[in-house]
Structure 1
Amino acid sequence: MYLNCHTYYSLRFGTFSEVELLELAKENSLTTLALTDINNTSACLNFVRKAKEFDIKPVIGIDFRNGAVQQFVGLAKNNNGFYELNAFLSEHLHEKKSIPNDAPTFNDVVIVYPFEKVLQNEKKQFKDHEFIGVSVEELKKLPFSIYKSYTDKLVVQQQVTLRNKRDFNAHRLLRAIDNNTLLSKLQKTEECRITDVMLSLEALKKAYAQFPHILTNTENLLNACTINFSFGKERVSQNQQLYLESPQADYDMLVKLCDDNLHKRYAKPDAKVKGRLQTELTTIKAMDFVSYFLINYDIISYSKRMGYIHVGRGSGANSIVAYIIGITDVDPIELDLYFERFINPFRASPPDFDIDFSWKDREDITQYIFKRFKHVALLATYNTFKYRGVVRELGKVFGLPKEEIDKLSDGKYAAKSLDEMGKLVLKYGQLIRGFPNHLSVHSCGVLILEKPIHYYSATDMPPKGFPTIQFDMIIAEDVGVFKFDILGQRGLAKIKEAIEIIQYNRPELPPIDITQVETFKNDPNINELLKGGKAIGAYYVESPAMRGLMQKLQTQDYLGLVAASSIIRPGVSGSGMKKEFIIRQRYPEKRKDANPMLLKIMPETYGIMVYQEDVLKVANQFAGLTLGEADVLRRGMSGKFRSRAEFLEVEAKFLKNCKDKGYPDDLTMVVWEQIKSFAGYAFAKGHSASYAVESYQSLYLKCYFPLEFMVAVLNNGGGFYSAEHYIHEAKMCGGIVYPPCINNSEHPNSIKGKTIYLGFGYLKSLESLTIGRFLTERNFNGPFQSLDDFIDRVTISIEQLTILIRIDAFRFTQRSKTELLWEAIFKLHVHKQGSTQARLFKPNHKQFDLPSITITYVEEAYDQIELLGFPLCSYFDLVDDVFHDNIKASDMHKHTNQNALLYGVLVNTRFHKTSQGKLIRFCTFIDRDGHYFDTVHFTKVVDTYPINGMGVYGCYGKVTEEFDFCSLDIIWSKKMSLKPDPRS
């Protein structure tokens, strides 16, 4: 009997989830229920999926509104009706058009106009599929209106938005947030009615007792509506089914691609290669995944035609077919990749191909996909109300001053000191915390479907300009909609740009073939960078944690890097198995300590679970689960499906099987805890191998073209470290780094020989329009000869010119910055209105006799700190403090288990929370020689000796050593004072 129900996907309006709506319906003995969120279909598919569990027939539709004003409700009579509703809503969302007063003519949709709206518009004519909805509250008006005679058009429209007064309070807060107004000033027209609740069937029948035809009409209307989607085990893939005209044509194309490219990957393919290839092809065909491979191949082929670099990873990297046709660059035979992790007869979803492109190329790739395929959309994700956001929004709603809001949102308050309003903000914040706030775009998910997108959902049009569906990946997978992962990353952009810079800076060299990864893997110079932790700038292997792990493992080959990239993940590390792996890697005699059964299952990793495949292997070979059950276990550990009954069943079977096999309980629990602790974090082995391929490409460039590579790193937003540190690394590699220069610099950083010119883009206060103006002038008419020449040729304000002079961009004139600044002020007539047009004739510049004032290196450094964000000299050169007896980073191994003092410039700092909730701080510094040392600040010193910003710190502590890697356990630390700016 309920045609107009809302969930909290009626954003900033509804107050509970679609599952809670079903629970409410069950409590009220309903057997049919319609979900109609406001201008949104996010909850529809999950509502249909979950309704079966409550023995409720689902009906879905949309409540069409302009703001809070309801225009009409549309209910889908069938799947085509849902498509019509979605298409209609999407048109209005995309074009930001208002919903009209009258609904269009639909084929399979029922329209319900609210009684008040009908009265207001004096609507007299209704089509066969159009009805008038009357709420319980509106029944008292019905006898006095002309519509009492419309007996066949009247239906129940008792809106359901609330369950109780608590929900009404939450609703009002949401409406105030949406209207950006104080709660006390919220208009009643923006709220629902407090009576918009679900009544029991008995109460409803009693309310409409005088109008039995309204109940009959409503029941008939609901009976006419049926929606069908398949979920879970019953689902079928909704992705595009064919690439060519038929399944056989698709399969023939895939086989031909493999035949044509086999010898490019394997010069002499043996029986193992051919057998694996045939097995995969047979399985791919049997499971109807052929088109999925061909679509991915199409996308990769386009990227190659455009000269883009890509990395194919995810579980799909376990596939020899993907390797042969070029989707990935990971050889599954070399790495003995577990085929069943990639695809198995128990897996209903296609394998994952996470395809990375340069962040600069990704939008073009996405644009190509939308043009190339017929039914395409981006996947959505929802930003929810989190603690800080809730407190900030409610602080404004209750009229709190900014300082109070900041204090509450940062958690820096004592409960006893809070006033009544502060307590209200925290109390009511609990009502809406976790609610969806607004739709966002999934970081990488693209949908390519067989049917039109609007068959499943309405779409929004975010600023990037690609239609985006209104549900997330969990629901998508449940209904058989599987995403293509198209990602953008900076690591690939670094590689691509580094090659371009090398070609420009060293034109005498032959073109670089960055695909020669096999050569890179076996290069001792490249592997020495890994082993020594000298991979700064290289993708995935540059962080302090990875740098330390490389040194502890003494990683010096590809397979070692593949393992390391998974070992460092939180799961393996948190289970204590990272340390055990290092021990067994470095000390072969310790490998005998492994459980013999686990060692037999995982000999390559010494009996330790490192990869996601290891979960499958152990669950299958150790506990006797089928591969399908093992995959449920692996996926369940990711957190997505942890609460599902199927996962709990598999967990119980795992424990039972181990007991039946006679394993000791302590062994079973040790293995189970290992699985539990890391499976959701560990990488698939092929995924790790893909990362390792990209790392080796970066390492090759870092090894042989370090300066060009570091310029590319800087131009692509760096990586783990700050721009300041990458500039330091460039200097350590022999580069000479200069601040921006009017005649040599570009917007990005550039290099000439070994000289690196920082780009104008670092000057935050310098306007892009100004930069474009003088670069265009220079490119067309040649270098500037003097400050006078610059002023004659470029229209610029004194403020913008001052920035260029202070950063020493006119140093080619051989004149001091002070002299140039005075001259610029005189010549630009700073107090007069300047012309925005270029001068037709060059003026005769008056020459001034100005005193020559020398700029000290300290003043230069402070100008650079203000304008660039960092000095180009070392912070050590600016210290105005006493250095005491200390050791250098290179000598730490001589002082193991001794207290020592080191001085270093802060490179990176990060916190870690212990299982007891206490904070530990990890820092990385470089000493005066530019060498790294790492510090650990345990809980007792974290607050006592804070680390506040960049600069030189004195670090006193105990030198510890683990697997030949030294670090310092801090006893005290002190930030060294710097020389003041003499101009202050």
Structure 2
Amino acid sequence: RVAQALTALRRRETLDRAAGHLMAAPTAHLRPRAELAAFLSRYPGVADTTVALGRSCVIDLAELRPELPEFAVPAGHTQDSWLRDRAEAACVGRYGPRVDPGAGAAWRQLDHELDLVAGLGLAGYFLIVHDIVRHATEQGIWCQGRGSAASSVICYVLGITAVDPLRHGLLFERFLSLEKAGPPDIDLDLESGRREEVIQYVYTRYGRLHAAQVANMITYRPRLAVRDAARVLGYPEAQTREMTRHIHHSPPGPDAGLPGDVRDLAAQLHTLPRHLGVHSGGMVLTRQPIGEIMPVEWATAEGCSVLQGDKDDVAAAGLVKIDLLGLGMLSALHTACDLIHAYHGVRHDLASIPQDDPDVYAMIARGDTIGVFQVESRAQISTLPQLRPTKFEDLAVAASIIRPGPIQAGSKHPLLRRRRGEEAVTYPHPLAKAALEPTLGVALWQEQAMQLAIDCAGFSPGEADRLRKAMAAKHAPEKVAAMRDRLLTGMAGRGIPPAAAEKIVSMIEAFSDYGFPQSHAQSMAGLIYASAWIKHHHPAALIAAIMAHQPMGFYDTQTLIGDAERHGITVRGPDVRTSGVHATLEPGPMPDQKPGPTSGSTPGPTSGSTPGSTSGPTSGERPPAIRRGLTDVTGLGEQAAEEIVAIRAERPFADLDDFAARTRLPARILEQLATAGALDGLGLHRRTALWSAGTAPGRSHQAPLPGLATPATAPELTSMTTAEETTADITATGASATAHPVQHVRPRLDRLGTLTAAAARTLADRAPVRIGGLPKYLQRPPTAHGVAFGAIEDETGMVNLVFAPHVWDRCHRTLLDAPAVIITGRVERSEGTVNVAVDRVEAITVATPVPRRHVGHR
């Protein structure tokens, strides 16, 4: 049945329509050994001959050992000597000359790494990666290495990574050792919007025959399985959509209301391979044509050739993979620094941002981190006041602590209590102290699990790395469990009592549910600090930059607007006279002046500036406001927005007729711009602009039919109310800078006895509370034993919500479907964080549209 369904799906037909293309008998499968032997018994000797033939055809792919392309080096150099030359020159800049006594440890480590790299024949690999970083940097593309590469002094001095591995005590064997099979793993984070430029550089440099991207096997998840099952069984599209509406990451149960045939087929499809995608960053390079090693095909995306194998297939074939990953936060930080330079005249980049600013750490410790990389989730915001970070190493802990591994290991709460001095620092055994001392006796990082195996069980670095690989495997618990006996035997040999040994092993086993590598956490800490520094000193720039790169991060644009306003920043809607393609900064209200309207037009640009540009450095006298970009308007693509800005640069738009005639946008786009308030600055309020959009010149190449033309002059129309403008904003742009949707039902909520989110956050522990607002950011992580989390948002901010399993089961459909809700529950206050334990959820209506919600499972 499954094979028939997959055949029909490939043909984009139902089972009934595909009947002529299905196999007549269900024989297309691998038979069990006994069944096959009985079938072949009529042909004496054929089974033995088949086995012998098969064995004679077996080759070990490892023997092929595909090599990387030869990296061109200057005359008189080998790849080893050129890498050493480049690394030693760079080491002087990072650590000082070799004769400097303070640089001795760095030079010794560099020599050790270079000798090891030469012995393993990997110099070309480092030169290729360094060349990619060089190209990205020369093109103004921000990038940095992450993962285990941050443990390497070679990578640090060459600028591949930004973390000093010696200062932070990172374990080099996590990255490379004599016993480690295969090349090291260097992951490069690149600005997400410009990653493709780097990929095309690699194709150009090494040739299409020698470079390809790695495939990713897309398997059936519950929702897709139900959708394809319903389609192939012939259910109408509308009914199929209704079936999948409430299915997300968990397979549907008997109470999901699905037809039996759909539920049964979906259960069989679940987890099966569906199609090949493109890996998020993996690229493979080879000296010989890559198609001689693994099949290659064109991907759907233009200019992308992809291997017909995933990362495990690539590793099995001995191919070297370099990960070129797109990271939205790098794009946002680059944009934020460009906005700061344009507005204040000060140039920053990741290297020049001042370090160790106590005010930045104080902001992080307050949990004021919406928009800050890696620490903006509700769980992180609740944890930060307890963690109380005061230095860079604490940010690496913050990046790691809200992870399944540390949570499963029971590391989170003991670590927080120990940092607050509420619990003594203890170790399961003295031999575990060296590995666990940086995190006060609890395990957070993969390197700590490796170090525990080395120090406590006598593992070699290579064995510890194999343990680390087992922890990272898809079926990690089984693989780690298989090494349990080796761990226990090794610890017994070192005199560790059974109880302590079991505790150490349980720490290690917990990392099979994904603990962070310490080297990766240190890399992330740099971006945490950089984004926090910008948020503290230039909050408008950071929020505008994140808006410019939406969707990214944890929060939607409406939440970002609310956070901006709570920080005293005016946010203004899109305006064809002044908006850029994406969000920009422009002069805000004078410090002694109340903020004006947050939507629609503002007075013309200040003297000396042009429409749509931020003012120069002198405008730093006034705090910046955020102007939403033209691409925020639904249906207006980037190309059209760029054309509007280019046309406006020739001369400002005089009125709507002038705008329509010069841009020649279709009526539907003019109407969207009018709905968004983007035409208000041309002297028309929204209703008049909407009417006039239909009569504006240049909108159509064809005259209207006789008698159907819209009157050229709009009748006298009343302006929209604030509530109507909010609705129009959300309809046209997905968010409103005019007002929060809940603000317009506040009188009704007050009559129903609800509090605002801000008021609820002031209540005492265990106080009963009712809050009205929009439910957002719903999550049910697999490590929470059925507990779900979310937030409720109104015009004053957000409050975190916690749903016990039975409450979630009862109310989750209301949370997903209702425009707005009233939450009834009790306040839970702990260490400066406030949650509401939910008892009841009631649906209420709001006039404004709200985006569709889903449940996250992270």
TM-score by length of 2: 0.83
Q: Are the structure 2 counterparts of residues 650 and 980 from structure 1 closer, same or farther at C-alpha, using a change threshold of 3 Å?
A: closer
Residue in structure 1 matching 2:310, options 472, 485, 488: 472
Q: Secondary structure at the match of 2:418?
A: helix
Task: Give the corresponding residue for 1:255.
Answer: 84
Task: Give the corresponding residue for 1:779.
Answer: 649
Q: Are the structure 2 counterparts of residues 247 and 442 from structure 1 closer, same or farther at C-alpha, using a change threshold of 3 Å?
A: farther
Q: Is 1:183 matched with 2:15?
A: yes
Q: Secondary structure at the match of 1:356?
A: strand
Alignment of 1:545-944 (within 5 A): 545-587=379-421, 590-592=424-426, 595-640=429-474, 642=476, 650-717=483-550, 718-753=552-587, 754-766=624-636, 771=641, 774-780=644-650, 782-825=651-694, 833-834=702-703, 850-851=715-716, 853-872=718-737, 873-879=739-745, 880-883=747-750, 884=753, 886=755, 889=758, 892=761, 895-902=764-771, 906=775, 908-913=777-782, 918=786, 920-926=787-793, 928-930=795-797, 932-944=798-810
- Looking at structure 1, the residues matched to 465 and 153 of structure 2 have their Cα atoms a distance apart, in angstroms, of 20
- Looking at structure 1, the residues matched to 805 and 51 of structure 2 have their Cα atoms a distance apart, in angstroms, of 68
Residue 423 (structure 1) shift? 3.9
Residue 265 (structure 1) shift? 1.4
**Is the 2:456–2:490 contact (alpha carbons within 8 Å) kept by the matching residues of 1?**
no
Residue 314 (structure 1) shift? 1.1
Aligned-residue sequence identity (percent) comes to: 23
Residue 823 (structure 1) shift? 4.7
Residue in structure 1 matching 2:179, options 332, 335, 346: 346
- Looking at structure 2, the residues matched to 683 and 831 of structure 1 have their Cα atoms a distance apart, in angstroms, of 57
Q: Is 1:967 matched with 2:828?
A: no
Task: Give the corresponding residue for 1:288.
Answer: 121
Residue 363 (structure 1) shift? 0.6
Q: Are the structure 2 counterparts of residues 220 and 655 from structure 1 closer, same or farther at C-alpha, using a change threshold of 3 Å?
A: closer
- Looking at structure 2, the residues matched to 364 and 406 of structure 1 have their Cα atoms a distance apart, in angstroms, of 38
Task: Give the corresponding residue for 1:98.
Answer: none
**Is the 2:743–2:794 contact (alpha carbons within 8 Å) kept by the matching residues of 1?**
no
- Looking at structure 2, the residues matched to 762 and 914 of structure 1 have their Cα atoms a distance apart, in angstroms, of 36
- CA RMSD between the two structures: 3.7
Q: Secondary structure at the match of 2:483?
A: helix
**Is the 1:897–1:958 contact (alpha carbons within 8 Å) kept by the matching residues of 2?**
yes
- Looking at structure 1, the residues matched to 441 and 263 of structure 2 have their Cα atoms a distance apart, in angstroms, of 50
**Is the 1:637–1:680 contact (alpha carbons within 8 Å) kept by the matching residues of 2?**
yes
Q: Are the structure 2 counterparts of residues 204 and 832 from structure 1 closer, same or farther at C-alpha, using a change threshold of 3 Å?
A: closer
Residue type of the partner of 1:174?
Answer: L
Residue type of the partner of 2:790?
Answer: C
**Is the 1:632–1:650 contact (alpha carbons within 8 Å) kept by the matching residues of 2?**
no
Q: Are the structure 2 counterparts of residues 275 and 958 from structure 1 closer, same or farther at C-alpha, using a change threshold of 3 Å?
A: same
Residue 429 (structure 1) shift? 5.0
Residue 854 (structure 1) shift? 3.4
Q: Are the structure 2 counterparts of residues 874 and 283 from structure 1 closer, same or farther at C-alpha, using a change threshold of 3 Å?
A: same
Residue 455 (structure 1) shift? 2.3
- Looking at structure 1, the residues matched to 683 and 268 of structure 2 have their Cα atoms a distance apart, in angstroms, of 67
Structure 2 gap ranges (5+): 588-623, 705-709, 850-858
Q: Are the structure 2 counterparts of residues 225 and 193 from structure 1 closer, same or farther at C-alpha, using a change threshold of 3 Å?
A: farther
**Is the 2:660–2:699 contact (alpha carbons within 8 Å) kept by the matching residues of 1?**
no
Residue 779 (structure 1) shift? 2.8
Q: Which deviates more from structure 2 when the two are superposed, residues 438-447 or residues 651-660?
A: 651-660
Q: Is 1:491 matched with 2:329?
A: yes
Q: Are the structure 2 counterparts of residues 398 and 454 from structure 1 closer, same or farther at C-alpha, using a change threshold of 3 Å?
A: same
- Looking at structure 2, the residues matched to 408 and 802 of structure 1 have their Cα atoms a distance apart, in angstroms, of 34
Q: Secondary structure at the match of 2:505?
A: helix
**Is the 2:143–2:188 contact (alpha carbons within 8 Å) kept by the matching residues of 1?**
yes
**Is the 1:875–1:952 contact (alpha carbons within 8 Å) kept by the matching residues of 2?**
no
Residue type of the partner of 1:250?
Answer: Q
- Looking at structure 1, the residues matched to 481 and 793 of structure 2 have their Cα atoms a distance apart, in angstroms, of 50
Q: Is 1:527 matched with 2:365?
A: no
**Is the 1:904–1:927 contact (alpha carbons within 8 Å) kept by the matching residues of 2?**
yes
Deviations 1:95-119 (A, max 9, x none): xxxxxxxxxxxxxxxxxxxxxxxxx
Deviations 1:228-284 (A, max 9, x none): 3344xx785644466549997111112111221113212454222222222222222
Q: Are the structure 2 counterparts of residues 802 and 370 from structure 1 closer, same or farther at C-alpha, using a change threshold of 3 Å?
A: closer
Q: Are the structure 2 counterparts of residues 289 and 227 from structure 1 closer, same or farther at C-alpha, using a change threshold of 3 Å?
A: same
Residue 559 (structure 1) shift? 0.4
Q: Are the structure 2 counterparts of residues 653 and 414 from structure 1 closer, same or farther at C-alpha, using a change threshold of 3 Å?
A: closer
Residue in structure 1 matching 2:227, options 392, 401, 424: 392
Alignment of 1:221-300 (within 5 A): 226=57, 228-231=59-62, 236=65, 238-240=67-69, 244=73, 249-267=78-96, 269-300=102-133
Q: Are the structure 2 counterparts of residues 624 and 779 from structure 1 closer, same or farther at C-alpha, using a change threshold of 3 Å?
A: same
Q: Are the structure 2 counterparts of residues 771 and 480 from structure 1 closer, same or farther at C-alpha, using a change threshold of 3 Å?
A: closer
Residue type of the partner of 1:397?
Answer: V
Q: Is 1:460 matched with 2:297?
A: yes
Alignment of 1:86-165 (within 5 A): none
Residue 459 (structure 1) shift? 0.5
Deviations 1:392-451 (A, max 9, x none): 334333323446545665476758987xxx544444555555443222211111111233
**Is the 1:954–1:976 contact (alpha carbons within 8 Å) kept by the matching residues of 2?**
yes
Q: Which deviates more from structure 2 when the two are superposed, residues 669-678 or residues 950-959?
A: 950-959
Residue in structure 1 matching 2:287, options 443, 450, 453: 450
Residue 382 (structure 1) shift? 1.5
Deviations 1:799-854 (A, max 9, x none): 4333322322232344433344445556669999439xxxxxxxxx9985843523
- Looking at structure 1, the residues matched to 466 and 682 of structure 2 have their Cα atoms a distance apart, in angstroms, of 70
Q: Are the structure 2 counterparts of residues 641 and 281 from structure 1 closer, same or farther at C-alpha, using a change threshold of 3 Å?
A: farther
Residue type of the partner of 1:621?
Answer: D
Residue 344 (structure 1) shift? 1.7
Q: Is 1:376 matched with 2:220?
A: no
- Looking at structure 2, the residues matched to 201 and 574 of structure 1 have their Cα atoms a distance apart, in angstroms, of 47
Number of residue pairs the alignment of both structures matches: 785
Q: Are the structure 2 counterparts of residues 758 and 206 from structure 1 closer, same or farther at C-alpha, using a change threshold of 3 Å?
A: same
- Looking at structure 1, the residues matched to 420 and 494 of structure 2 have their Cα atoms a distance apart, in angstroms, of 33
Structure 1 gap ranges (5+): 1-168, 836-844
Deviations 1:35-84 (A, max 9, x none): xxxxxxxxxxxxxxxxxxxxxxxxxxxxxxxxxxxxxxxxxxxxxxxxxx
Task: Give the corresponding residue for 1:510.
Answer: 346
Residue type of the partner of 1:516?
Answer: S
- Looking at structure 2, the residues matched to 853 and 408 of structure 1 have their Cα atoms a distance apart, in angstroms, of 43
Residue type of the partner of 2:626?
Answer: I
**Is the 1:905–1:925 contact (alpha carbons within 8 Å) kept by the matching residues of 2?**
yes
Q: Are the structure 2 counterparts of residues 456 and 809 from structure 1 closer, same or farther at C-alpha, using a change threshold of 3 Å?
A: same
Q: Secondary structure at the match of 1:881?
A: helix
Residue 979 (structure 1) shift? 6.0
- Looking at structure 2, the residues matched to 486 and 361 of structure 1 have their Cα atoms a distance apart, in angstroms, of 11
Q: Which deviates more from structure 2 when the two are superposed, residues 750-759 or residues 764-773?
A: 764-773
Give the greater-gyration-radius structure (CA).
Answer: 1
- Looking at structure 2, the residues matched to 832 and 266 of structure 1 have their Cα atoms a distance apart, in angstroms, of 67
Q: Are the structure 2 counterparts of residues 512 and 387 from structure 1 closer, same or farther at C-alpha, using a change threshold of 3 Å?
A: closer
- Looking at structure 2, the residues matched to 331 and 881 of structure 1 have their Cα atoms a distance apart, in angstroms, of 57
Task: Give the corresponding residue for 1:441.
Answer: 278
- Looking at structure 2, the residues matched to 206 and 980 of structure 1 have their Cα atoms a distance apart, in angstroms, of 75
**Is the 1:598–1:608 contact (alpha carbons within 8 Å) kept by the matching residues of 2?**
no
Q: Is 1:173 matched with 2:5?
A: yes
Residue type of the partner of 2:280?
Answer: S
**Is the 2:575–2:680 contact (alpha carbons within 8 Å) kept by the matching residues of 1?**
yes
**Is the 2:673–2:732 contact (alpha carbons within 8 Å) kept by the matching residues of 1?**
no
